[in-house]
Amino acid sequence: MNPPKPVYQRLYELVKDRDYFVLTTNVDHCFQKAGFAKERLYYTQGDYGLFQCSVPCHDRTYDNGETVRAMVEAQGFRIMTDGSLYLPEGVTAAMTVPPKLVPRCPECGEHLCMNLRADDTFVQDEGWYRAARRYEKFLEEHRGKKILFLELGVGYNTPVIIKFVFQKLTAENPLATYACINYGEAYAPEEISSQSIIINADAGKVISKLLE
């Protein structure tokens, strides 16, 4: 299902004709669904669209779209063309799935789980490393050039992945601009205040205004 608000789609409209790259700690697969090119995305913390071995016994991941659809339908739901779920009249959702649909690792037989950085079992597969290399290449190609580091709604749970990195890169490049759009937590260090745009507001509303 799509998010309740079209923030991802509007962000895509804003950047689709520009030279962009997305670094995100979100794991909800919404950037790809909104149209962002997969080769311009780096999901650092995983992706709900992927399974991995729960042990893990190896470092591959598996697309889980077909499995999840089968699980949903096995509970009595129907999936509409827009992705929403529909429970036919008179049908009670089973809220369980048949044992044969419980995903198992093809190598060791243990359960598969979501590819999510929750502990030290997180799998960084070859796709993860390719995305990391593309991100590093993008930064290298734009080093010392005019660039906007746009930070949207990043809090202080894991600031070392996006927030602190963007601030450091801005400090190192006099042509860079750091923009922080964050309702309640908009801030920039004094060292880069002259290169910063700070907006204490809802990111979705700001993006919509930029498209007007």
Is 13 strand, coil or helix?
helix
Tell me what pLDDT residue 3 has: 79
Residues 200 and 148 reside in one and the same domain: yes
Summarize the confidence of residues 131-146 as an average pLDDT. 97
The reply to whether 206 and 169 lie within a common domain is yes
- Do 59 and 75 fall into the same domain? yes
CB 116 within 8 A of CB 45: yes
Final residue before a domain boundary, out of 67, 84, 116: 116
Model's pTM, two decimal places? Answer: 0.88
Inter-residue contact 91 to 98 (CB < 8 Å):
no
Q: Are residues 137 and 199 in the same domain?
A: yes
Structure tokens at 65: 């779209």
At 126, the pLDDT band (50, 70, 90 cuts) reads: very high
Domain limit, last residue, from 97, 116, 135: 116
Give me the number of domains the chain comprises: 2
Residue 129 shares a structural domain with residue 203: yes
Q: Contact, 188 vs 180, CB < 8 A?
A: yes
Q: With respect to residue 76, please indicate whether it lies within any of the assigned structural domains.
A: yes
Based on its alpha-carbon atoms, the radius of gyration of the chain, rounded to whole angstroms, reads 20
pLDDT at residue 4, rounded to an integer: 80
One domain, residues 205 and 136: yes
Please tell me whether residues 132 and 196 are part of one structural domain. Answer: yes
Greater model confidence, 112 or 185: 112
Which has the closest alpha carbon to 199: 183, 211, 212, 177?
A: 183
Final residue of a structural domain among 116, 142, 165: 116
- How much is the average pLDDT of 71-83? 93
**Residue 1 is assigned to a structural domain of this protein:** no
**Domain contains 136:** yes
Q: Based on the domain organization, do 143 and 99 belong to the same domain?
A: no
Kindly tell me if the per-residue pLDDT of 83 is higher than 90: no
Q: Compute the residue count for the chain.
A: 212
Name the token pair of 150.
């746009």
Residues 19-49: pLDDT tens digits?
999 999 999 889 988 999 999 999 999 999 9
The verdict on 154 and 196 lying in the same domain is yes
Distance CA 130, CA 39 (A): 9
Instruction: Output the pLDDT for position 84.
Output: 87
In this predicted structure, the answer to whether residue 178 has a pLDDT above a threshold of 90 is yes
Is 40 in the same domain as 133? yes
pLDDT at 177: 98
Question: In the predicted model, is pLDDT for residue 2 greater than 80?
Answer: no
pLDDT score recorded for residue 85 = 92
Kindly give the pairing relationship between strand 85-86 and strand 147-152.
Answer: unpaired
Task: Look at residue 18 in the predicted model and tell me its pLDDT.
Answer: 96
Q: In the Cβ-directed half-sphere of 50, how many Cα atoms lie within 13 Å?
A: 22
Within-domain flag for 19: yes
Containing structural domain, residue 80: 51-116
